[in-house]
Structure 1
Amino acid sequence: MKMSLVVGEISYTNMLPLYYYLDRDYLNKLDCLFIPQIPSQLNEGMSKGIIDVGGISSFSYGEHVDKYTILPNLSVSAPNSVGSIFLFSKVPITQLDGKKVALTSSSATSVNLLKIILQSFYELNPEYTVMTPDFEEMLADHDACLLIGDDAIFTLWNLASHIHRYDLGQLWYEHTKLPMTFAVLAIRNDILQTEAYRISALYDGFITSKNKCIENNYEEMISSIRKDFGGSKRFWIDYFNGLSHDFTVRQQEGLYKYYDLATELGLLKKVNTIKLWSAIDHCHSI
């Protein structure tokens, strides 16, 4: 084994059920090193070989499909509304053609999902600018802005009544009737063979954490989140019940649709096969 297995941890509450009950003492003894960052930073770390395994944007997996393998049964997905990925706009969405839209620098999947929604579903072509996620600064010179994760949740809680709000998970579902997968758990292929033991231990931990959160209806985790972030218990219960952390055939179908539409718009090269890791044969294709 090499010195440390570097594990990327998306630092948003939507990923927390996969990490909350990890036995970090045990994994630390195996020399697993956890790096919490926003998705765009983890995407870059994975691509440079700094991060070995962990949560990344689904779009980033599509960019590196030949170099990464996905851990099965794990994701951040939404069957409909996602509750933390919003387009906030001064005008109705149908009026955004030619308007200025600020995009969060924190994301890859959601930024490209918004482009798909506006261009492919609404036939709109706004002018995009990537910015640090700050609602007031983004809307100072723009007609709309995209925020994700906890930035989006905090903005939602304090949103003025005249601002239009669009949930990207809901818009995706309305136009495709498919779930949307925003993040996946991926491994760099060059460590698949050498790190099989630690990957297996980490994978078992993710699955155990996810299942334990579902079994207790996220209660313990929500208590912890409320101490750090606030919000009502009902908000967080509804929020997590609206997410899915599985990666079923249906979710894979939704992700293939996303990749196909991104390819049509020239945002991504064609993704032919999503590769899933297996503890038995290390990986297989679907």
Structure 2
Amino acid sequence: MNGLSNGVKITARIGMVNYINTAPLYEVWRRTVRRADWRITEAPPSVLNRMLHENELDLGFVSSQEYALHPGEYRIMSDLSISSTGPVGSVFLFSELPIAGLDDQLVLLSSQSQTSVSLVKIILEEFHQIHPRYRSGLASELDPGAERPAAVLAIGDEALRLAVEERYPHRLDLGEAWQEHTGLPFVFAVWGVRGDFCREEPDTVLAVYQELHR
């Protein structure tokens, strides 16, 4: 079903997010797992979402919103997520203005994310009654000739870099903002498995799960 790689039959196509905040999981995996029949794809969540949905992956880290959009297609591995109760520390809205001043201002939304893009819109539009203009992209790839955004949504490594650089005087941790307004934790990403793969290859799914829980 999954083809060959260097003459080895691929039994699982696995998607990994290689960010600093996933290092406790992925770095252990890279050091300990030696399976030539498992093919690893490293990509941002937005890419892994598409690949899992289009059957280019069998399982991997995907946005929680991707699961919510297609709950009948996926299963979730328990105890494996990027989530927070309060500050998440790696998903920020960085702003040149106070949050209240972002109405009708341009906000750059990370093209690497799906869940965080929806979450920041909920926080701004529903919690704060603020309606900015949006554009998709990355802070590291801004076009000098384009309109400069007043705020930037960044995730993962880009968010950690911007936090250290302190270019923006205002920052909003999305996990913290969600918890303050709802009292609830927030799940940004889950380990999703295609339902058909679960049915056809249960032993492989279990083997991957056991490696992830080492």
- The verdict on a shared fold, with TM-score over 0.5 as the criterion, is yes
2:124 is matched with which residue? Answer: 118
Letter of the 2:97 partner, please give it.
V
1:7 aligns with 2:14: yes
2:6 is matched with which residue? Answer: none
- Does the 8 A contact of 2:18 with 2:26 survive in 1? no
RMSD between superposed Cα atoms in Å: 1.8
1:198 is matched with which residue? Answer: 204
Deviation sequence 1:70-114 (CA, Å, 0-9, x none): 001110111110111111111100111111111110000101100
1:151 is matched with which residue? Answer: 158
For 1:1-286, what aligned pairs fall within 5 Å after superposition?
3-4=9-10, 5-22=12-29, 23-25=32-34, 28-29=35-36, 31-134=37-140, 137=143, 141-160=148-167, 163-208=169-214
Deviation sequence 1:97-134 (CA, Å, 0-9, x none): 11111111000010110001011111111111101342
Aligned-residue sequence identity (percent) comes to 36
Letter of the 1:144 partner, please give it.
A
Distance 2:162 2:210 in 1: 35
1:178 CA displacement:
0.9
Q: Between Structure 1 and Structure 2, which shows a larger proportion of strand residues?
A: 2
Distance 1:103 1:156 in 2: 16
Distance 2:205 2:141 in 1: 38
1:135 CA displacement:
7.3
**Helix, strand or coil at the partner of 1:35:** strand
Distance 2:169 2:65 in 1: 28
**Helix, strand or coil at the partner of 2:72:** coil
Deviation sequence 1:166-210 (CA, Å, 0-9, x none): 1111101110111111110010011112211111011011111xx
1:20 CA displacement:
2.5
Distance 2:95 2:176 in 1: 16
1:214 is matched with which residue? Answer: none
1:40 CA displacement:
0.7
Distance 1:119 1:153 in 2: 25
**Unmatched tracts of structure 2, length 5 or more:** 3-8
- Find runs of 4+ consecutive structure 1 residues off by over 6 angstroms: none
**Helix, strand or coil at the partner of 2:27:** coil
| Alignment: residue pair count | 204
